[in-house]
Structure 1
Amino acid sequence: MSMLPELGADFGISASAASISVTAYLVPFAALMLVSGTLGERWGRRRAVLTAYLVYVVASLVAVFATWLPLFLAMRVLQGAANAFTTPLLLAVVAGSVKPGALGRALGWFGSLQAAGQTSAPLLGGLAAEFDWRLAFVGVAVAAALLAAVGLPPTARPATRARPRLRSAWRPYVLRIGLVGGLGWGCVAGLNFLVALRLEDAFGLGAAGRGLLLTALGVAGILTARVIGSAVDKVGPRRCVLSGVVLGALVVAGVGLSPAVWLVALLWAFGGVATQLVLVGVNALALGSSRSNQGGATSVVQSFRFAFAALGPVVVTPIYHAEAAVAFLVPAALLLLVGPPTLPRADRGGDGPGTGTGPTGTAPTTA
């Protein structure tokens, strides 16, 4: 996002038109995650993830040298498609590498590193664009190549040899978890753009000030993800998700009504805590919902997350222009009214004893 003006100038289009490159990445990324985890479980996690890394390397390098916009956009589509096969399967590998009762802590570490990447990416992309935006694509190609060279760690519990079916990942239990995870992300962290609009319109903050304040969410997520992971192990993922939903609703409503910039900054930092409570919790629930198709269940949940993030600007921006405060109150109300009743209590249709993840990591929570 931070390099759109430079990218647009290079291809002879406006920065607004250049934003189609973001859509070209996110649409296949979110759509393919409905099936990528299950397909990766069928093909083998290691093979699928390494292939995805290599495809990402090729697509990034072609994008570096692309001088024709359609070719560049095609490579963005390929990048999104490749990346759809990484996160869900990596989460499944994490789940298979930890002892029972320690899944939350492992997911906390994963969430902390993921938050660090999401927080630093705009900054690094902007710095690269100061010289040449294509350097950012060189950087991600090198990073993907290094990840492919490192490979995946061995798992304590190897993936099942059965060929999981797509319907095992599309069960109502998983879909309900995905809906809550999508709401938790889309109605909090996905509203970064909305917070930026309010900071400019209500408080007159410039680009640098807005960017600095918005990093509060990511920084708080980095600092608290591991603590939240431990909480998932101790009190159960469902309680953590519900806590994150309620906290997120209070944060979003507060940001929309806050009379002072410092209060917005403080609340937005708590938004990072709320986001991690939801993400770590729903990932633990999804991974615990199936022994035969952990990657598939997790990829469905991740698909909801990014689909809701993509829908946010389209749905909320018109409301903001009509009535700014209402644009914040609507997502807050959605979190409170839809989140708690949608989140399932226990998996009644799993694939055998031991599915689900409770405080011990071995049984579903019924709290």
Structure 2
Amino acid sequence: MAGTQRRGGGLTALAAYVGGALGPLGGGMVAPLLPDMATSLHTTRSGVAASLTVYLVVFAAVQLVSGTLGERWGRRNTVRAAYLAYAAATLFCAIVPSLGLLLAGRALQGAANAFTTPLLIAGLVELVPAERLSRAIGTFASWQAAGLSLAPLVGGLFGEVSWRLAFVVVAVLAALLAFLPPPGGAQRAAPPRLRSLLSRRLALLSVAAFASFAGSNGLPFLVALYAHDRLGAGPAQAGGLIVGFGLAGIVLGPIWGGVAGRIGARRAAALGALAVAPLVAAVGLVDTRIELVLLWTAAGATASLLTVALQRLTLDAVPSNRGGGVSVASALRFTGSAMAPLFWLPIYQRHHQAGFLAAGVVVLAVLPCVALLRDPAPPRRD
């Protein structure tokens, strides 16, 4: 059966990687479109900007149950339906005449995306050989980073014609991906239950996921603010100074997957946390733009290792409900990113160095979490 599922799986695996980029792409592409959207919908930029928050909040919240429901209904059929729902919600956003309807459409986008990302990661188990699984997870992470990093560019390019066109293009991509869902039928004998997620291992990995994003991946806003306040950078310049964080993740994701496969994901996660924490803390000490670029890009490289390693560990956290386990950890990951401004901005405003130092300390919370894990099996080697 496994061989049959993996035959021709190269194209399906590629579709899974593209699907990993779809959520961040659709979520973040509105950033450069805000002025045009506000004018078109006769509202304020702040009102339209709320569509970013709505998308992420719903996405994170629904992931608490989406993976388990998807495994119960059947991974393949669930992802196909979610892609079609995402396409419909995105087309709805393209034609809305008012802010209220836009926010409703963005909420539907976030909910649909919650049923794709965790199930795509879980589906990699059946799409690639076991010895290549860690590398595949790293590749998936790099596509996610690409979607996040390129979203403003893609939105801006299509926005030159019309902001509505940007939504139409993403909707078409989602509809095409529905033809290549991941393998996995409905599990009728013993359907996954939410109760299976109440495990010590998943709890530790969820805390680690929250800490990793709250202390590193959720900090671009703070680094951009530092570049403006301390280094005199304008908005466009600040964006250019911090882009290396995401680019490092795009390039190094597959490599880090191989590293996690060779040395073990627990050890890779610990090394990533030990490297990320001092790099983040040191951002508040830089005096030049080149120092900021080098330091923040290095932080992005090591944060990518941490993310890939934690995702690999999470995939085995609940073997009977892989999608459910991945979705819960992902929900905590994005919650950490969403909470970062609330945590660090007040500290930064009192003392800029203390804000980055506190964020770095939070990343170190990953260490006791992975130290307390018990390996279910020896690490696979890529």
Q: TM-score, normalised by structure 1?
A: 0.91
Whole-angstrom distance in 2 between the partners of 1:100 and 1:293: 18
Whole-angstrom distance in 2 between the partners of 1:177 and 1:240: 14
Which residue number corresponds to residue 239 of structure 1? 267
Whole-angstrom distance in 1 between the partners of 2:193 and 2:209: 23
Whole-angstrom distance in 2 between the partners of 1:232 and 1:74: 40
8 Å CA contact 2:204, 2:373 repeated in 1: no
8 Å CA contact 1:96, 1:159 repeated in 2: no
Instruction: Encode CA deviations 1:246-279: one digit per residue, 9 max, x unaligned.
Output: 2111121111111111111111111222221121
Whole-angstrom distance in 2 between the partners of 1:183 and 1:9: 38
Whole-angstrom distance in 2 between the partners of 1:241 and 1:64: 40
Which residue number corresponds to residue 5 of structure 1? 35
Q: Which amino acid aligns with 1:305?
A: R
Instruction: Encode CA deviations 1:321-354: one digit per residue, 9 max, x unaligned.
Output: 2221111111111122x2211235434xxxxxxx
Q: CA deviation at 1:319?
A: 2.0
Whole-angstrom distance in 2 between the partners of 1:32 and 1:361: 34
Q: CA deviation at 1:99?
A: 2.5
Which residue number corresponds to residue 8 of structure 2? none
Q: How is 1:189-200 mapped onto 2 (pairs within 5 angstroms)? A: 189-200=217-228
Q: Which amino acid aligns with 2:367?
A: P
Do residues 145 (structure 1) and 165 (structure 2) align? no
Question: Tell me, what secondary structure is at the counterpart of 2:32?
Answer: coil
Whole-angstrom distance in 1 between the partners of 2:153 and 2:74: 35
Do residues 303 (structure 1) and 331 (structure 2) align? yes
8 Å CA contact 1:252, 1:329 repeated in 2: yes
Q: How is 1:122-141 mapped onto 2 (pairs within 5 angstroms)? A: 122-141=152-171
Question: Tell me, what secondary structure is at the counterpart of 1:187?
Answer: helix
Identity of matched residues, %: 41
> CA 1:65 to 1:323, structure 2 compared with 1: closer, same or farther past 3 Å?
same
Do residues 343 (structure 1) and 370 (structure 2) align? yes
Whole-angstrom distance in 1 between the partners of 2:351 and 2:156: 32
Instruction: Encode CA deviations 1:135-176: one digit per residue, 9 max, x unaligned.
Output: 221121011011112333x47xx7754201112123121021
Match of 1:262 among 279, 284, 290: 290
8 Å CA contact 1:248, 1:335 repeated in 2: yes
Unaligned ranges ≥5, structure 1: 348-354, 363-367
Match of 1:90 among 107, 115, 120: 120
Match of 1:275 among 303, 315, 318: 303
Q: CA deviation at 1:123?
A: 1.3
Question: Tell me, what secondary structure is at the counterpart of 2:64?
Answer: coil
> CA 1:58 to 1:285, structure 2 compared with 1: closer, same or farther past 3 Å?
same
Whole-angstrom distance in 2 between the partners of 1:317 and 1:7: 28
Q: Which amino acid aligns with 1:339?
A: V
Alignment root-mean-square deviation, CA: 1.9
Which residue number corresponds to residue 348 of structure 2? 320
Q: CA deviation at 1:9?
A: 2.5
Q: Which moved more, 1:205-214 or 1:107-116?
A: 205-214
Question: Tell me, what secondary structure is at the counterpart of 2:160?
Answer: helix
Question: Tell me, what secondary structure is at the counterpart of 2:43?
Answer: coil
Unaligned ranges ≥5, structure 2: 1-30
Whole-angstrom distance in 2 between the partners of 1:33 and 1:60: 19
Do residues 80 (structure 1) and 110 (structure 2) align? yes
Do residues 27 (structure 1) and 57 (structure 2) align? yes
Which residue number corresponds to residue 177 of structure 1? 205
Q: Count how many residue pairs are aligned between Structure 1 and Structure 2.
A: 351
Q: Which amino acid aligns with 1:79?
A: Q
Instruction: Encode CA deviations 1:7-47: one digit per residue, 9 max, x unaligned.
Output: 22322333223221111111110011111100000000011
Question: Tell me, what secondary structure is at the counterpart of 2:130?
Answer: coil
Question: Tell me, what secondary structure is at the counterpart of 2:218?
Answer: helix
8 Å CA contact 2:34, 2:49 repeated in 1: yes
Which residue number corresponds to residue 98 of structure 2? 68
Question: Tell me, what secondary structure is at the counterpart of 1:223?
Answer: helix
Q: Which amino acid aligns with 2:225?
A: L
Q: CA deviation at 1:358?
A: 4.2
Whole-angstrom distance in 2 between the partners of 1:112 and 1:7: 30
Whole-angstrom distance in 1 between the partners of 2:191 and 2:311: 22
Q: CA deviation at 1:223?
A: 1.2
Whole-angstrom distance in 1 between the partners of 2:372 and 2:343: 30
Do residues 50 (structure 1) and 50 (structure 2) align? no
8 Å CA contact 2:62, 2:114 repeated in 1: yes
Which residue number corresponds to residue 379 of structure 2? 359
Question: Tell me, what secondary structure is at the counterpart of 2:178?
Answer: helix
Do residues 40 (structure 1) and 70 (structure 2) align? yes
